């Protein structure tokens, strides 16, 4: 994966935030397991039980979340591309080491880019879906709402590191 990818409003979701914090702190909040545990799961809906990040191409992306009734749902994926403090992407379509994944959920490829804007950071999260149907299902299921809540939590957490 490289910086040039096509985004379609029919199959992809883009969420952008400005964070009044230096890019290094935003990167730290994004790529450190202890930090990710604080913001990844929308607090009204659950929590993060376990987070393992091997932030390198082919490395493990694992975030186990606790949902209603205390059930733990494993989210396992693979990092595709890492350009420190600029871009990171991962997918649930592959397991660590680029091994083909098995899953019950709607898979995505996530791409996060960071840009310095003044003394702050422009944060862009893009979720690429296989199809229009997958994208619409994620929007209707609450996934999009939860992701937007998590992004707000992410911004607040990154600001707390200042």
Query: For the purposes of burial, counting CB atoms within 10 Å of the CB of 41, is it exposed (0-12), middle (13-18) or buried (19 or more)?
Result: buried
d(CA 111, CA 116): 17
- Digitized pLDDT (tens) for each residue of the chain, 162 residues in all: 345 678 999 999 999 999 999 999 999 999 999 999 999 999 888 999 999 999 999 999 999 999 878 889 888 999 999 999 999 999 999 999 999 988 768 889 999 999 999 999 999 999 999 999 999 999 999 999 999 999 999 999 999 998
Asked whether residue 60 is assigned to any structural domain, the reply reads: yes
Asked whether residue 7 is assigned to any structural domain, the reply reads: no
Does this model's pTM top 0.85? My answer is: yes
Asked whether residue 131 is assigned to any structural domain, the reply reads: yes
d(CA 156, CA 47): 16
Of 98, 42, 49, 43, the C-alpha closest to 74 is 49
pLDDT at 3: 53
pLDDT at 65: 93
Asked whether residue 3 is assigned to any structural domain, the reply reads: no
Asked whether residue 9 is assigned to any structural domain, the reply reads: no
Full residue range of the structural domain in which residue 36 is found: 14-160
Q: Which CATH number is 103's domain given?
A: 3.30.530.20
Asked whether residue 136 is assigned to any structural domain, the reply reads: yes
Calculate the alpha carbon distances from 127 to 46, 70, 147 in Å: 21, 27, 10
For the chain, what is the domain count? 1
pLDDT at 44: 84
Asked whether residue 134 is assigned to any structural domain, the reply reads: yes
């Amino acid at each position: 994966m490289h910086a040039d990818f096509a985004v379609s409003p029919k199959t992809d979701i883009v969420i952008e935030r400005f964070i009044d914090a230096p890019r290094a702190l935003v990167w730290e909040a994004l790529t450190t397991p202890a930090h990710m545990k604080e913001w990844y799961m929308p607090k009204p809906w659950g929590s993060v039980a376990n987070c393992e990040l091997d932030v390198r191409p082919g490395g493990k992306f694992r975030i186990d979340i606790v949902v209603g009734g205390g059930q733990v749902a494993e989210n396992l994926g693979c990092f595709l591309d890492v350009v420190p403090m600029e871009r990171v992407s991962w997918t649930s379509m592959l397991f660590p080491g680029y091994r083909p994944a098995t899953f019950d959920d709607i898979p995505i490829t996530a791409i996060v880019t960071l840009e310095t804007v003044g003394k702050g950071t422009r944060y862009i999260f893009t979720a690429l879906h296989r199809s229009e149907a997958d994208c619409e299902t994620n929007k209707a299921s609450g996934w999009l709402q939860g992701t937007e809540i998590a992004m707000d939590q992410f911004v607040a957490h990154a600001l707390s590191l200042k």
